[in-house]
Chains A and B, each alone.
With several copies, the nearest count.
Chain A
Amino acid sequence: MKVRVTVMPKTGVLDPQGKAISHALGELGFSGVGEVLTGKVIELDLAETDPEAARSAAEAMARRLLANTVIEAFRVELV
């Protein structure tokens, strides 16, 4: 079972990479680029075959390690 965990900075948390990308895109001549937010995707190949069990395992992994919930929010999808 493949699971995708997407981790994004919470609102109000500084995103230096997003800021730099927004700036760089402007410099490259792309206009109309507003806020840019950057995050991480972690795709896990789990032995678990039950979708709900896989999802809850991934959620546990995200809470424990994959995301720092002080500054990041995460989303789990089955893929």
Chain B
Amino acid sequence: MLHAPLPTMTNPALDNPGNPADKAGMSTLTLLPPDRALQLAAQFGLKPDEYDRVLGILGRSPSMTELGIFSVMWSEHCSYKSSRIWLKTLPTSAPWVIQGPGENAGVIDIGDGLAAVFKMESHNHPSFIEPYQGAATGVGGILRDVFTMGARPIANLNALRFGAADHPGTRRIVDGVVRGIGGYGNCVGVPTVGGEVNFHPAYNGNPLVNAMTVGIARADRIFYAAAAGVGNSVVYVGSKTGRDGIHGATMASAEFSAENEDKRPTVQIGDPYAEKLLIEACMELMATEAIVAIQDMGAAGLTSSSVEMAGKGGVGISLNLDAVPQRETGMSAYEMMLSESQERMLMVLQPGQEGVAEAIFHKWDLDFAVIGHLTNTGRIEIFHNGALEADIPLAPLESEAPLYRRPTTETPKLPPLGEVPDPMGLAPALQKLVACPDLCSRRWIWDQYDALVGGLTSKRPGQADAAIVGIEGTARALALTTDCTPRYCLADPEAGGAQAVAEAWRNITATGATPLAITDNMNFGNPEKPEIMGQFAAAVRGMAAACIALDFPVVSGNVSLYNETDGQAILPTPAIGGVGVIADAHLAMGLAMPAAADLVLIGAT
């Protein structure tokens, strides 16, 4: 077995687990000169006051690796520092909610001792840079969030927003994104059963790719991220680490730009085949009692997974990067901690279970390495080439990360439309509507997605208002949908937020299923602009009101801010992913109108 050779010389915490790292161990830490650190901090996106906080926490200048860790952990993406205050106002509980927001995915009870595990996540920026790989790795990431919790993924959905259909850049992005979603989902063998697509010039330079995965687990066999058990092994599994997707900041740093081409941050490439193996291996290991905690390596890979696992568990963690399976040579600690190589997971194992786990991962041709252990220091300590590279208390990185109540301004109410003159007559207007990019058939998209693999899809795209996917071994099925109308959200973010939730609820209800809970993906512009933060706050308010009114809580979600190009924000887009359950899949209603049926309109126009 690949036991990490622990550099005990520089790891006093190991010799004496009762003590935090003493100053002798610290001596090998190479600190950045203060002025250099200040300059790098700005390049890494830390605000001056945030950097002051770093200095206060450490009581000294940071090392390069430490600075990298602070900058990613305190990034908007990992810390939710602008959005958390608002997200906390969303209703997240109901008798059927097993796990609300805060874990890798939300979990709800769907009866028969089973749970549905689901979440939606964005991959907007990567999909603009490289549409195929950006979308593909987005699907891969959300799948991992779900199977990390012990659920076998049974369905994928997506919510896509592209620039104007006639904008010169749109075609390339649409084509790449759609192929990327299909390429990943089809290969991994999880059916893509639904989604939605809009086109608008506001997305010309900033498409939105939101991917949702739904999985099924035994309600009493859910796996969580909180680490426990001082001394337990921290294990790395999956694919090797390369220099993929390392913080763009690396490039801006003089130290790195002086180096050769190879050091440039590289686009993350998805390997759905490796993911498929990872799913099978994790499912197999999860059937044993070996796992204490498990977390996928998503954004900021090794950093966020190790910090979150140890932080949530209230323990400390010590990592030896020499043991990390590496695809490239000469990687620094900074690069390894920030790498976003795909198809990797971090686990804490029960004592003595390393052999069992290793055999399973090797059976599935995946890397397996013990790369560290849990400590009682409440700190993260990182060793590389025998030197200490980082030593940071965990709480300020995770639970005590910055939190902002940013200024908001309300979106002005638009005057009512009033009388709309009929410009063309009913039939031409209808023709124009059905032909417009937002309403025309999406068949050309779903014809590229395997909607049936798994053998349980009973309503595929185009057949019902929500997709219906059966649950093996039961008569039950899930009803799944994604919804949002960004135009509404621009005009009135509160009503738009409420409408998105209500539409998801209606789409599920229309199939005959009972709506149970939602996940959301909040895509907005720059939160430092009060009008954008105002859109965000109002959308949350509207969503919360609708969730309460409909008994439809939020159990997971994702926030993507700074979606702007040249100062132009996207339309506020709180995409909603809804999940419902129907006791007997046979009873699910589709769209197809039986012959000689009457058309009945319900509700006021």
Cβ of A32 within 8 Å of any chain B Cβ, yes or no, is: no
**Chain B residues, Cβ within 8 Å of A19:** 271
Cβ of B130 within 8 Å of any chain A Cβ, yes or no, is: yes
**Chain A residues, Cβ within 8 Å of B341:** 14
A13 nearest CB neighbor, chain B only = B266
**Chain B residues, Cβ within 8 Å of A12:** 242-244, 262, 264, 266, 328
| Residue from B130, B239, B327, B365 in contact with A71 in the complex, judged by beta carbons closer than 8 Å | B130
Query: Which of A9, A11, A12, A14 neighbours the largest number of chain B CB atoms within 10 Å of its CB?
Result: A14
Are the CB atoms of A14 and B242 closer together than 8 Å? yes
Are the CB atoms of A16 and B274 closer together than 8 Å? yes
Cβ of A4 within 8 Å of any chain B Cβ, yes or no, is: no
- The CA of A72 and the CA of B266, in the complex, are separated in Å by 11
Are the CB atoms of B271 and A14 closer together than 8 Å? yes
Are the CB atoms of A14 and B244 closer together than 8 Å? yes
Nearest CB of chain A from residue B56's CB, rounded to whole Å: 36
B129 nearest CB neighbor, chain A only = A70
Nearest CB of chain B from residue A14's CB, rounded to whole Å: 4
Cβ of B96 within 8 Å of any chain A Cβ, yes or no, is: no
- The CA of A9 and the CA of B543, in the complex, are separated in Å by 44
Q: Mark B268-297, 1 if CB is under 8 A from A, else 0.
A: 111101100000000000000000000000
**Chain B residues, Cβ within 8 Å of A11:** 261-262
Q: Which of A1-43 contact B (CB under 8 A)?
A: 9-16, 19-20, 23
Are the CB atoms of B262 and A71 closer together than 8 Å? no
Given A23-B365, A71-B130, A13-B271 contact (CB < 8 Å): no
Are the CB atoms of A16 and B271 closer together than 8 Å? yes
Cβ of B267 within 8 Å of any chain A Cβ, yes or no, is: yes
Cβ of B133 within 8 Å of any chain A Cβ, yes or no, is: yes
Query: Which of B239, B242, B267, B328 neighbours the largest number of chain A CB atoms within 10 Å of its CB?
Result: B267
Nearest CB of chain B from residue A68's CB, rounded to whole Å: 7
A12 nearest CB neighbor, chain B only = B266
B interface bracket (residues with beta carbon within 8 Å of A): 20 to 34
Query: Which of B130, B264, B269 neighbours the largest number of chain A CB atoms within 10 Å of its CB?
Result: B269
A interface bracket (residues with beta carbon within 8 Å of B): 10 to 19
- The CA of A58 and the CA of B341, in the complex, are separated in Å by 30
A70 nearest CB neighbor, chain B only = B130
- The CA of A9 and the CA of B327, in the complex, are separated in Å by 14
Q: Mark B427-470, 1 if CB is under 8 A from A, else 0.
A: 00000000000000000000000000000000000000000000
Nearest CB of chain B from residue A23's CB, rounded to whole Å: 6
- The CA of A14 and the CA of B140, in the complex, are separated in Å by 15
Are the CB atoms of A10 and B266 closer together than 8 Å? yes
Q: Which of A51-79 contact B (CB under 8 A)?
A: 68, 70-71
| Residue from B130, B262, B267, B273 in contact with A16 in the complex, judged by beta carbons closer than 8 Å | B273
- The CA of A20 and the CA of B243, in the complex, are separated in Å by 19
Query: Which of A10, A12, A23, A70 neighbours the largest number of chain B CB atoms within 10 Å of its CB?
Result: A12
B270 nearest CB neighbor, chain A only = A16
Q: Mark B254-268, 1 if CB is under 8 A from A, else 0.
A: 000000011010111
B327 nearest CB neighbor, chain A only = A14
Nearest CB of chain B from residue A66's CB, rounded to whole Å: 15
| Residue from B262, B273, B327 in contact with A20 in the complex, judged by beta carbons closer than 8 Å | B273
A20 nearest CB neighbor, chain B only = B273
Nearest CB of chain A from residue B140's CB, rounded to whole Å: 11
**Chain B residues, Cβ within 8 Å of A20:** 273
Given A23-B365, A68-B130, A71-B133, A13-B269 contact (CB < 8 Å): yes
**Chain B residues, Cβ within 8 Å of A71:** 130, 133, 266-267, 269
**Chain A residues, Cβ within 8 Å of B273:** 16, 20
- The CA of A23 and the CA of B261, in the complex, are separated in Å by 28
B133 nearest CB neighbor, chain A only = A71
**Chain A residues, Cβ within 8 Å of B130:** 68, 70-71
**Chain A residues, Cβ within 8 Å of B133:** 71
**Chain A residues, Cβ within 8 Å of B239:** 14
- The CA of A16 and the CA of B133, in the complex, are separated in Å by 12
- The CA of A16 and the CA of B264, in the complex, are separated in Å by 20
Q: Mark B315-351, 1 if CB is under 8 A from A, else 0.
A: 0000000000001100000000000011000000000
**Chain A residues, Cβ within 8 Å of B243:** 12
- The CA of A12 and the CA of B264, in the complex, are separated in Å by 9
- The CA of A20 and the CA of B262, in the complex, are separated in Å by 23
**Chain A residues, Cβ within 8 Å of B242:** 12, 14
- The CA of A9 and the CA of B269, in the complex, are separated in Å by 10
Nearest CB of chain A from residue B217's CB, rounded to whole Å: 28
Are the CB atoms of A70 and B267 closer together than 8 Å? yes
Q: Which of B226-247 contact A (CB under 8 A)?
A: 239, 242-244
**Chain A residues, Cβ within 8 Å of B274:** 16
Are the CB atoms of A13 and B267 closer together than 8 Å? yes
- The CA of A21 and the CA of B128, in the complex, are separated in Å by 24
B328 nearest CB neighbor, chain A only = A12
B266 nearest CB neighbor, chain A only = A12
A68 nearest CB neighbor, chain B only = B130
A14 nearest CB neighbor, chain B only = B269
- The CA of A62 and the CA of B132, in the complex, are separated in Å by 18
A15 nearest CB neighbor, chain B only = B269
Nearest CB of chain B from residue A35's CB, rounded to whole Å: 9
**Chain A residues, Cβ within 8 Å of B271:** 14, 16, 19
Q: Which of B164-221 contact A (CB under 8 A)?
A: none
Nearest CB of chain B from residue A67's CB, rounded to whole Å: 13
**Chain A residues, Cβ within 8 Å of B328:** 12
- The CA of A20 and the CA of B274, in the complex, are separated in Å by 9
**Chain A residues, Cβ within 8 Å of B266:** 10, 12-13, 71
- The CA of A71 and the CA of B129, in the complex, are separated in Å by 10
Nearest CB of chain A from residue B478's CB, rounded to whole Å: 31
- The CA of A12 and the CA of B267, in the complex, are separated in Å by 9
A35 nearest CB neighbor, chain B only = B327
Residues of chain A at the chain B interface (Cβ within 8 Å): 9-16, 19-20, 23, 68, 70-71
Known: A11-B262, A14-B244, A16-B269; 12 extra A-B contacts, CB below 8 A, are: A10-B266, A11-B261, A12-B242, A12-B266, A12-B328, A13-B244, A14-B268, A14-B271, A14-B342, A15-B269, A20-B273, A71-B269
Across the A-B interface, give the 7 residue pairs with the lowest CB-CB distance, nearest first: A16-B271, A14-B269, A12-B266, A70-B130, A11-B262, A12-B243, A13-B266
- What are 5 contact pairs spanning A and B, CB under 8 A? A12-B264, A14-B341, A16-B270, A16-B273, A70-B267
